[in-house]
Amino acid sequence: MITMKTHKVEETSSAASLEGHSALTFGAQNSLLIEHRAVRRNILLLLMLAAVSIAFLGMGSLIMSPWHVLEALFGQGSELNQFIIKSLRMERLLAAIFTGAAFSLAGCLMQTLARNRLATPGIIGIDNAAMAFAVSSIVSTGVSMAPSGMALVGAATATALAFGLSGGSGTRGYRFIVAGIGIGAIAGSITQLMLSQVNVDTANAAYPWTVGSLNARATDMVYLLGAGLLLSLIACLALSRRFALLPFSDQVITGLGEQIKKIRVAALSISVLLTGLAVAVAGPVGLVALVGPELARAMSGYRGIPLIGSALAGAFIMVLADLVGRTLLSPIELPVGIVTSIVGAPYLIWILVRRSPRN
């Protein structure tokens, strides 16, 4: 039996530092501290996402006004509009929202875990490995395993390799990242190899997906990703207090009575799960995982880890990028991965060459 009630925190001694917070309690034992400002910013992000989603649904070969889009969404308006929105564009919108949120949330967790904002799944090669495994399941005729499952296996393999190869240094520092770059390079070249061995039609069909595209998505994978995302978000909320400890040193975490290893394994598993499922839908669109959490951090100014904010920001970026890719050079459609690379890579370079690096 869960009773939910919100109340102002009433500790007089620490009232100053906790001002602007509410506690959300579940039963007697569990509670969640909610910062009002973070909630306001997340609502703002949600509104931005809604606005760009309506634009996304309205743009295409048949351009609709936002009013018509809303009408069609609520079951009004012409049959044609309803069909276009609900049957054609909605699935793509959902795919964009789910993949963006998944990549960005995974990136945020990985960054927190490694204490390094450059340690996103795309940079440390998890995307590429998931892609290589998924491509192997597409091109191999004998075994037709689901690409989602294979992508998960690939993501887990790459993570294990990156951890194993970075040796004693753990996830700290750049050694982990360069180990990941090496793994990513191997996985990428294996993908190239597999694509060069199959017939031209299969290679052409798989090509847009390997640069990251929402065009070749499979409906089942999108729903699978949605389910995974929902579970991960619930898990993240349930564990958010423990994840908030990750930036502290090992001694502090142990001193507060938490088991570091369990927290790390949980964060890493969620990150790998989300990345694998998202790659199976959209291919490696890894730079979303770098930019999404940054946007969330910049927006919220929140002291903790902006998990929900990252998911919302990632979804916003993905929808926007796909909207730009579809409309900018229409009728040619730019894969969303190219749009995010062109925007994300200069940002990454800028992070790297600034004189005073902040990890």
Partner 1 sequence: MIPWFNRIPAQRSLLSALVPAVFLLALSCFLSLLYGAGSIGPFEALQVLFNQGSSEAYFVVTELRLPRTLVGLFVGLSLGVAGALMQAVARNPLAEPGLLGVSAGSTFAVALALVMGASAATLTVSIAQIGALVGCFCVITAARMQGQNRDPIRLVLAGAALSSLLVALTSLLLLYDQRAADEIRFWVTGSVAGRGLDQLTAVLPSMFIAVMGTVYVARPLSSLALGEKVAIGLGHNPGRIRLIVIVCVALLVGAAVAVAGPVAFVGLVVPFAARALIGPDIRRTLWLCLPIGPMVVINADTLSRLIAQPAEMPLGVLTAIVGAPVLLAIVRARRLPTL
32 near partner 1, judged by CB under 8 A: no
Q: Using CB under 8 A, which of the segments 33-41, 163-171, 247-255, 310-318 binds partner 1?
A: 163-171
Question: How many binding residues for partner 1 (CB under 8 A)?
Answer: 40
Q: Give the residue, chosen from 167, 219, 220, 254, that forms a contact with partner 1 under the rule CB under 8 A.
A: 167
Q: 256 vs 345, which CB is nearer to partner 1?
A: 345
Residue 45 near residue 296, CB atoms below 8 Å: yes
Q: Give the residue, chosen from 253, 287, 317, 320, that forms a contact with partner 1 under the rule CB under 8 A.
A: 287
24 near partner 1, judged by CB under 8 A: no
For residue 150, the tally of other CB atoms under 10 A from its CB is 24
Q: Give the residue, chosen from 174, 223, 248, 302, that forms a contact with partner 1 under the rule CB under 8 A.
A: 174
Q: 113 vs 287, which CB is nearer to partner 1?
A: 287
Q: Give the residue, chosen from 34, 165, 216, 235, that forms a contact with partner 1 under the rule CB under 8 A.
A: 165
Contacts of 323 (CB under 8 A, 6+ apart): 52, 55, 56, 59
For residue 36, the tally of other CB atoms under 10 A from its CB is 11
308 near partner 1, judged by CB under 8 A: no
Question: Could you please report the per-residue DSSP string of 58-123?
Answer: H-SSS---HHHHHHHHTT-S-HHHHHIIIIIIHHHHHHHHHHHHHHHHHHHHHHHHHT-TT--TTT
Q: Classify burial at 249, counting beta carbons within 10 Å of its beta carbon; exposed 0-12, middle 13-18, buried 19 or more.
A: exposed
Helix (H) or strand (E) holding 256: none
43 near partner 1, judged by CB under 8 A: no
Residues in contact with partner 1 by the rule CB under 8 A: 118, 123, 165-167, 174-175, 177-179, 181-183, 185-186, 188-190, 192-193, 196-197, 211, 287, 329, 332, 334-335, 337-338, 341-342, 345-346, 348-349, 352-353, 355, 357
